[in-house]
Chain A
Amino acid sequence: MGPSINEFFPGAILFAGTPFEMNRIMLIRVLVVIVLALVFVLGTRNLKIIPTRGQVALEFAYTFVRDSIVIGTLGEKDGKRFLPILMTIFFVTLGMDLTGTIPLLQIAGTSVIGLPLLMSLLAYVLFIYAGIKQHGLKYFKNALILPGLNPLMAIFLALLEFLSTFIVRPVTLTLRLLMNMVAGHLLLSLCFLATNFFFFTVLAGGNPLGLLGIGTFAFGVAFTVLELFVAALQAYVITILTAIYLSMAIAEEH
C-alpha cells in the first residue's frame, strides 16, 4: 500500500458532521497560527538594545524579509507601505510549510488547496488594488496594451497579456506552493513506508534483500533535509513574486 492522495483527506476529528468539521490538517493549521502569534507577541514584547538570542533570530528573519525581499523589489517608499502584508504572507507560508517535516505532525498545512488558494487570491487582489489605486482604471490599459504596435498585433498581444497577468499568475502561485508540498509529502512517506516494508516484512522474513531498507531510510533522511530547504524556498518565492507583481502594477506606464 503506497502513499496515495487520500493521505491529504484524513477523517474528521472535531465537530464531525457540522460545517466546522476539523481534520488533522485543519488542527495543524490552527496550531501553527497559535505558535506564530505566540512567537511574535512574546518575542517582541520587551526588546532590548543588547538583544537576547531569541531576539537576534527574530530580527534576522525580519530584516531578511524587509531588506532583501520587500525593499529590494519595491523600493523604500512602496516597500514600507506593503511591508506588513508581505511579512504576513512570508511567515504564514513558512510556518505552514515547516509542519511537513516536524515529527508527529508530518503534513504541511499548505498541502491541501485551501491555504495556497487563499495566499494567491490575497496576492491577486493586492496587486490589482495597488494598480487601480496608483493609476485608476488606466491600470488595465497599461497592463494590457503595449504602445507602438499596429492594432491587429496589439489585440493579439492584449489577449496574451490578459492570460499571463490575470489568469496564469494566480493559478501558478497556487499550484506551485500546493504541488511542492504534496510532492514532498508523498516522497517522504514513500521512502519511510519502503523502509518499514523492507525491515519488518522482508528482513524479518529472513530475506537479506531487506537490507535495501538502509538505502531507503538514508534517502528518507536526505529528503527530509531537502523538504526543510523547500519550505523556506517556497516562502521566499511566494513573497518575492507577490512583491514583483506589486511593483509591476504600480510601476510607471510603459
Chain B
Amino acid sequence: MNVVGQLAPLAFGLAAIGSGIGVGIIVGKTIESVARQPELQGRLQALMFLGIALTEALAFIAIAVAFIPFPAP
C-alpha cells in the first residue's frame, strides 16, 4: 500500500504540541505569579512575552519547513 501526500503538515502538528504545552505553562505560571505579587506585573509580563517568543519559535520554524524547496529524492 502506498501513502501519498505531504509530511510537512504532520511536522507542524508535532511541533505545535510542544510549543502549545510550553506557552500554556509560561502563561499559567505568569498568571499565578501575578496573583501572588501584583506589583511585579510589568516585569513578569515582559519575561512572559520573552519566554513565549522563544518557545513559539519551534512552531514557526515548523510551518516554514513546508515552504523550503527541498530537492526531490
Name A's B-contacting residues (CB within 8 A).
Answer: 5, 72-73, 164, 168-169, 171-172, 175-176, 179, 183, 237, 240-241, 244, 247
Residues A175 and B64 in contact, CB atoms below 8 Å apart: yes
Contact flag A73-B46 (CB < 8 Å), given A164-B54, A168-B54, A172-B53: yes
Whether A179 contacts B49 by the Cβ 8 Å rule is no
CB proximity of B47 to chain A, nearest CB, Å: 9
Are A247 and B54 closer than 8 Å at their CB atoms?
Answer: no
Interface readout for B46-59 with A: 1 if CB under 8 Å, 0 if not? Answer: 10011001101100
Given A72-B42, A168-B54: A175 and B49 within 8 A (CB)?
A: no
Give CA–CA (A172, B49) in the complex, Å.
Answer: 13
Do B63 and A241 touch (CB < 8 A)? no
Count contacts on B: residues with CB < 8 A to the other chain: 13
Q: Name 22 A/B residue pairs within 8 A (Cβ), A-sorted.
A: A5-B67, A72-B42, A73-B42, A73-B46, A168-B57, A171-B57, A172-B53, A172-B54, A172-B56, A172-B57, A175-B57, A175-B60, A175-B63, A176-B53, A176-B60, A179-B63, A237-B49, A237-B53, A240-B46, A240-B49, A244-B46, A247-B46
Q: Which 7 A-B pairs have the closest CB atoms?
A: A175-B60, A172-B57, A179-B63, A244-B46, A179-B60, A72-B42, A241-B53
Interface of chain B residues 3 through 26 with chain A (CB within 8 A)? none
Minimum CB–CB distance for B61 against chain A, Å: 7
Contact A176 B56, beta carbon cutoff 8 Å: yes
Measured CB to CB, the nearest residue on chain B to A243 is B46
Chain B residues close to A by CB (< 8 Å):
42, 46, 49-50, 53-54, 56-57, 60-61, 63-64, 67
A175 contacts which chain B residues (CB < 8 A)?
A: 57, 60-61, 63-64
Residue of A nearest to B67 (CB): A5
Least CB distance, B55 to chain A, in whole angstroms:
10
- Distance from B40 Cβ to chain A, minimum over Cβ atoms (Å): 13
Chain A's closest residue to B49 (CB) is A240
Whole-angstrom distance between the alpha carbons of A39 and B45 in the complex? 31
Let me know if B53 and A179 touch, CB within 8 A.
no
C-alpha gap A172/B50 in the complex (Å) = 11
CB distance from A172 to the nearest CB of B (A): 4
A240's nearest neighbour on chain B, judged by CB, is B49
Which single member of A72, A73, A179 contacts B64 (CB below 8 Å)?
Answer: A179
Chain A residue nearest in CB terms to B63: A179
Q: How far apart are B10's CB and chain A's nearest CB, in angstroms?
A: 16
Chain B residues with CB below 8 A from A179, complex form:
60, 63-64
Shortest Cβ distance from residue A222 to the other chain B in the assembled complex, whole angstroms: 21
Q: Bound complex: CA of A170 vs CA of B49, how far in Å?
A: 15
Q: Provide the residues of chain A in CB contact with B67, threshold 8 Å.
A: 5
Among B42, B46, B50, max chain A CB count under 10 A is at B46
